Amino acid sequence: MTELNDFLKLLFARMALPVCPNCHLEIRRNTPESIWEESRNWPREGFWIILFGLPVQGRDPKELRSGLLRMGFLRLFSNGQTLPVEQWEPGPQEREIHVVVDRFPASSSDRGRFVDSMEAAFRYGKGWASTTLPDGRTLQWSNQWKCSGCGLEIKEPVPNLFSFNSPVGACPTCRGFGRVIDIDPDLVIPEPWRTIRQGAVKPFSMPAARHEFRDLIRFCTRHSIPLDVPWSELPEEARMGILDGRDGYYGVKGFFKWLEEKSYRMHVRVFLSRFRAYRMCPVCKGARLRPEALQWQLMGRTLPELCSMPVETLTQFFSDLESRTEFHPVSQMLLSEIRTRLSYLEEVGLGYLTLERPSRTLSGGEVERVLLTRALGSRLVNTLFVLDEPSIGLHPRDTERLARAIRRLVGQGNTAVVVEHDPSLIRSADLVLDLGPGAGARGGRLLYMGPPSGLMAVEDSPTALYLSGKRTIPIPAKRRDCSNGKFLLLRDVRENNLKGIDVRIPLEALVCITGPSGSGKSTLLLDVLYRALLRAKNLPGEKPGRHGGLEGADWIYRVELVDQSGLGRTSRANPATYSGAWEHVRKAFAYQPLARSRGWGPGMFSFNVPGGRCESCKGE
Ligand SMILES: [Zn+2]
Ligand SMILES: [Zn+2]
Ligand SMILES: [Zn+2]
């Protein structure tokens, strides 16, 4: 979302070094610059002769000579000495000649000339070049990536190799998603203390799977797998055979595969979803990139490793990298773009985020703040930014930094118009507009426009009353007694950053989880508690985050997730249809005498079904 991915992939294509997957050796290659560094140890008298090899077999000597002269190459190197191109005649066994690019004076310190000549030699020599030194040594160079241990050659990377959105870079197994949907043993065998006869294998214990259950019994009998021993006590081999199939028996996997082929049918899909869960892609281990991309490292880190670091840590990483050496101007530019963007993310209080976090898992406020950093990074001027409650979900600790980030946007010559309830943000504005006093028909009037300091004086403004503390949210005098003995107990929660905590949530009470952004609230509530409850209720959902156990789920009948994601699936949904009120309104209309005499049912008053809806817009 912040273009950081684009800069990172360009940076990797330029600066990363490959590591041999076989020998785990860092692979280096020769560049004109690295050879110049090495030349410090060479003899300082006479000339260094920079050469490239040219195959000559089967080519017409005359044409070859004139071709070389036309390109400006005047000398060849042969038998320890140079000779003019015109004098060259092919020897009987001569396969290759060495063309002189430059006779570089060994005493010279002209780095530019040396680098240019080496570059030309690599270009004409198709990646190979050599230098002959005054002491008679000839050094061979290759600008290809080649492992010195096993000789493995690695192709020069293109930027898209580092993008999981591109087929060039995406892991072929998971197509860049980092996870695959697969049978979850915990769901297939939810109660391992049951025996096979008691229906330990859940998908085969359903009435619709009577046939498959008989096949299972037959398989077990044939392989002397006991039917009356708890699943958990069966030998590993027997369990694998039942799950994966063996000796012509299809097993749970084969059964699911067969089902998958007709998964276009709704009830089959629902059935499958009860036993499957997403799990990490076995090939890329969640890194989303193909193996070739994971060979490349920057200071010992692959790109996915960098993306799994929190922004704060990443900032440190790049400042370490930058302090190490001098870089090519392009790399330098990429580095500084990356560092500025990281610092913006920190500024708006998102230093705890990792770059790999899918944007769909970010809260509304987080998304808005990420977009804000993009605006900061774009260096726009004369732009009006409309921000809709950017502080939503933000802990007071981070609101101040957010205010600073917006200030900076304004300082760059932009305008920010912010809808906001947060008192500290209201106070930090240059100008406040207060609308009200009520909602709907009772609102719509401009109550105040001016600097924040004057707002308090407005008498009929609810905003002013709360800001000045004249009105407050009443704190209940009496709290509900939470000691009714009903509670949920989550034990040893270790997902994400949670440090093995035990959490006891009393039931029939309003329970509030608080803490700064990134402290683990959403992980605890959504990834662990919500998903664990879904699982306890046998409802489809993703695998719960790591925890040691959930108690008390039996107290609860249903789980409902209410979050900031949009309502209704169709564009026609509105609060009335969503809450079910519309149904009663339609019935009331259908109950009218005229409607009854014409035989109109409730459908006549629905914009969702043909008959009721306007046909020219299909009820849209
Ligand atoms: Zn190797
Ligand atoms: Zn993968
Ligand atoms: Zn219409």
Predicted local distance difference test score (pLDDT) of residue 99: 94
* Ligand approaching nearest to the C-alpha of 179: 2
Measured in Å, residue 291 CA sits from the centre of ligand 2 at 9
* CA nearest neighbour of 449 among 430, 473, 423: 430
Read off the DSSP letter of residue 148.
T
Measured in Å, residue 613 CA sits from the centre of ligand 3 at 8
Measured in Å, residue 522 CA sits from the centre of ligand 1 at 44
* Ligand approaching nearest to the C-alpha of 572: 3
Cβ proximity of 98 and 51 under 8 Å: yes
Does 131 have pLDDT greater than 90?
yes
Cis-peptide into 167, omega within 30 deg: no
Measured in Å, residue 92 CA sits from the centre of ligand 3 at 90
Does 38 have pLDDT greater than 60?
yes
Classify domain 179-280 at the CATH superfamily level: ABC transporter ATPase domain-like (1.10.8.280)
Which carries the bigger pLDDT value, residue 524 or residue 80? 524
Does 63 have pLDDT greater than 50?
yes
Predicted local distance difference test score (pLDDT) of residue 568: 47
Cβ proximity of 297 and 340 under 8 Å: no
Structure tokens of 605? 């008053």
Neighbouring residues of the ion ligand 3, judged by CB less than 5 Å: 614, 617
Mean pLDDT, residues 93-117: 91
CATH code of the domain made up of 313-467: 3.40.50.300
Alpha carbon distance 519, 373 (integer Å): 21
Does 257 have pLDDT greater than 90?
no
Cβ neighbours, 10 Å, residue 375? 19
Alpha carbon distance 264, 269 (integer Å): 7
Measured in Å, residue 42 CA sits from the centre of ligand 2 at 48
Domain ranges (residues) in the chain: 30-143, 179-280, 313-467, 487-555, 572-620
Angle at 334 between CA 330 and CA 339, to 5 degrees: 145
Third-level CATH fold of 30-143: Ribulose 1,5 Bisphosphate Carboxylase/Oxygenase (3.30.190)
Confidence of residue 552 (pLDDT cuts 50, 70, 90): very high
* Ligand approaching nearest to the C-alpha of 22: 1
Measured in Å, residue 188 CA sits from the centre of ligand 2 at 24
Query: Which H or E run includes 277?
Result: strand 276-280
Measured in Å, residue 296 CA sits from the centre of ligand 1 at 14
Measured in Å, residue 572 CA sits from the centre of ligand 3 at 12
Measured in Å, residue 119 CA sits from the centre of ligand 2 at 38
Q: What is the dihedral of CA 159, 164, 166, 167, to 10 degrees?
A: 110
Alpha carbon distance 533, 535 (integer Å): 5
Predicted local distance difference test score (pLDDT) of residue 571: 60
* CA nearest neighbour of 31 among 120, 118, 153: 118
CA 125 → CA 122, 189, 535, distances in Å?
5, 63, 63
Angle between helices 364-378 and 329-347 (to 10 degrees): 140
* Ligand approaching nearest to the C-alpha of 177: 2
Angle at 82 between CA 77 and CA 87, to 5 degrees: 90
Which carries the bigger pLDDT value, residue 392 or residue 350? 350
* Ligand approaching nearest to the C-alpha of 607: 3
Measured in Å, residue 308 CA sits from the centre of ligand 2 at 16
Measured in Å, residue 297 CA sits from the centre of ligand 1 at 15
Measured in Å, residue 309 CA sits from the centre of ligand 1 at 28
